[in-house]
Amino acid sequence: MAAASESVLLEIEDLHVVYQTDLSTVYAVNGVDIRLDYGHTLGLVGETGAGKTTVALSILRLLPERTGRVSRGTIRIKGRDIMTLPEKEMREIRGQTVSMIFQDPMSALNPVITVGDQIAEAILLHDKQGLTRVQVEERVEEMLQMVGIEPERKNGYPHQFSGGMQQRVVISMALACNPDLLIADEPTTALDVTIQAQVLAMMRRLQEELGTAMIVISHDFGVVAETCDFVAVMYAGEIVEYGTAEEVLDGNIHHPYTVGLFGSIPSLESDAKRLSPIEGLMPDPTALPPGCKFAPRCPHRMDVCTEQKPDTYLIGDGDLKIMCHLFGEGTGK
């Protein structure tokens, strides 16, 4: 891997995360590499349990303390290895350099603290200029206005807001310190479809205005297509396909898993009577298959697939990378 250059914001190399309990060890993330430049947006798609959220939590070092552990790999933010940072410096990164939006806005806001105070807290935690109370309040109002909520509502409690409004509050809280990277974990999954479109449009507008880099985690290709420059498809803790949004979403060459994912989206044109899901289930993360993790469900399975873990191959002259034996030399295509 190349040394961190000026433009690289986030660099994850060979990340392995396990959740360990007395009963079993769950291999949640198994060798993920991600590079994200300033101002770019990356979509992380995959089924539930593919390890998307775990990657995000690793970046903030917020894995469940007792069970979650990064077993291998490095994460660098702005060139600094965060795995070895003391907790105090890590807290400065959280919310200031990297902030995160969680899936369910209804439970992501503290029910007994006013939304204004919750936004103000984010500002005060990273305040280096010694802002006065009035300045902080002004900033809170500014943030609310930015996400389209009347500033007067800052004294309201979360339960007085609708789901879409709550997510706007969460977003304004996450953006309050002008972070370099915003991780949005299923930002619209808990919302109505109409509200989803609004929130996505708003996120895209803010991203363009503020130049914040973003990682959007979703199981919905639509959401990713709306917001992202790059897309990574995750399966069983690995990135099986990576490329620009165009390459992954509109291209012709894909990992068999991505093909399966697209195949399972019902089309308006075809007269399908039934949905066509990918056969089988994701492998048990406590006992992963030795070779390609998708092999048991793959329609193109070869002998080598069950024995040997595939490498990641660069396809064409673009950014497209696929982890599959089909694209290796001397085998198949």
Least separation in angstroms between residue 121's CB and other proteins is 6
Applying CB under 8 A, which of residues 13, 37, 121, 319 lies at the interface with other proteins?
A: 121
102 binds other proteins, rule: CB under 8 A: yes
**Residue 2 exposed, middle or buried by CB count within 10 Å (0-12, 13-18, 19+):** exposed
49: number of Cβ within 10 Å = 18
Least separation in angstroms between residue 96's CB and other proteins is 6
What type of residue is 158? P
SS3 44: strand
184 binds other proteins, rule: CB under 8 A: no
Applying CB under 8 A, which of residues 7, 20, 24, 110 lies at the interface with other proteins?
A: 110
How many residues bind to other proteins according to rule CB under 8 A? 30
Tokens 């056969």 belong to: 279
Distance CA 197, CA 202 (A): 9
Considering beta carbons, is residue 108 or 228 the nearer one to other proteins?
A: 108
Tokens of 231: 């897309």
Applying CB under 8 A, which of residues 34, 44, 77, 93 lies at the interface with other proteins?
A: 93
9 binds other proteins, rule: CB under 8 A: no
What type of residue is 63? L
Output helix, strand, coil percentages for the chain, rounded to the nearest 5.
35, 25, 40
Considering beta carbons, is residue 11 or 185 the nearer one to other proteins?
A: 185
221 binds other proteins, rule: CB under 8 A: no
SS3 306: helix
Please write down the long-range contacts of 276-282, taking CB distance under 8 Å and 24 or more positions apart: 282/47, 282/49, 282/50, 282/235, 282/236
Tokens of 330: 């001397």
Question: Binding pattern to other proteins, positions 26-65, x when CB under 8 A?
Answer: ----------------------------------x-x---
Considering beta carbons, is residue 19 or 102 the nearer one to other proteins?
A: 102
Residues of this chain that bind other proteins (CB under 8 A)? 60, 62, 66, 91-96, 99-100, 102, 104, 107-114, 121-122, 125-126, 157, 159-160, 170, 173
